[in-house]
Structure 1
């Protein structure tokens, strides 16, 4: 059995929480530390029990246990529930569930354990902090080895709580990554980018989309306040940021159209204050607070043009173009400038759009266009 270095083993578990691909090696190291053939983490939630995580050297056993369905016939789980053995914070061994004679006649041990040449098992049982179910960190021995000794059981009791916590962190990090990917996809569909500012208005994080959108409009340097690149906009932009930060008391300007240096269509900025309870940790936004700066090119083409869909509602091609831009937040004057037509023409087309879509105001059109954009 290899030397026991608890801090290194625990560090390996928490490192695996951030990099799930490292779990098999981490579990192998844990198994070596207690003289086991391998290590496996099992949820006792019936909906997740098949989704076990195991060390590489018992990968075939784990596959048979999960995909092969043997987890449904695990006598130890069944007896542990019946007898109240599997209490959070306890370390269990096979002898707590069955005698040697009972093992020899038990179908699970006969057809699964014996076939994989597994011997004694020692497990730490921990509580899942996210629900009422328990988890176990189990270390099966090779059939040629005897029962676990006292020092080995103590080691499993020492490192077990960290293994269970790190395993749950892996699941939580995975859920957070999925949520982040969903947010990124949503922002991409909106043609939007985000900039995180700390409570003093300094840049802490810039998304790739925001960096691309800010070109020609803003200077975004980490640790510095954003600056408008068009000199004539500098003072107005500074007032907008001051208004949008959460310590501001009184009326605020939440949306700002920033002109590009050298001319061109404006960039829409929206300030979203971060207060207590917002879903951004202090490590991102600073010492709590700060703001999210949302950047949007209101006149950029959609990922998939929606004008053909609008035409199916009876709009002309010109009306569909106007409806798409105004529904995404552009003012009639901005649409008129883009198409080099009179603002009165745009308003006339907009009136026709409202009539054909049976709506009365721009806010209703915005909801309608957003739904089409999300299809």
Structure 2
């Protein structure tokens, strides 16, 4: 049995590690490693299980190699008898495996015989930390120790740690997503023609740029349901977004479609390991005014990127095929003035070449 003198300092250490990981001072791997040090022959994991699809996976582990984690997600998740009843276990309460499946039944399962016993694992302890839709997020420890009384001490420890871990879910799924918008750059977020929305599981809006908030309020392209979930007027785009928010999605990382005068771009967020575990699935919806068809619309380009009249005339010359010297001569200004205007335009449009200016003027993505 674990002695009380071992549990108390371990609990303090683990609690400190949770908040240190939230602050970026330590890693979630440090937390799992410290927990696993308490367990004889232990394997500790942060993992999820989707009851509806029957799928699951290990997001972070201590005492388990990557190949075994992949084997679990690919095959053994469907054989795990504990997961058949996990949705009916109390949220936030640590439970030993024997309370979910009696041991005499458990040792006759393929999961025990083919997956656990081969790794000298005899029992498990777990706690459901968070539930979202049909998906449960759990902290689990597997152990070589059969003694249910000793394992119950670990279950009680997990129960006491759960409130702190629940705060981690709330933190990652709310406040951190304000920073998710920053990856698109200030010029895009400040543009009057572009809206950026970070969407989480269940079509929940986690963050929105100022332009996106205005679009949500108007309801012309996107809006909110009575339950506060994102609603898209374009059914095809809505279906694509829901697919991207599915755990088994294996399609393109970005997709685009058009809705009237707007272009909608969907980008699948890539968050792996502990960050992805706590933050959940997410995708980004970029809504931008579509460029008019035909010849480049310099007025549209100027409005979108905040170009001055002089800068617009310089870009117009470049798009027409003139060199900077020819632009200077045609406008009766110095070459250095043209170069200074081009430099300012490059900064506003986030391109660094004349070819890039031509591409965005005709509605194509800038070269990368």
TM-score, normalised relative to structure 2: 0.48
**More strand per residue: 1 or 2?**
2
Rg: which structure is higher?
Answer: 1
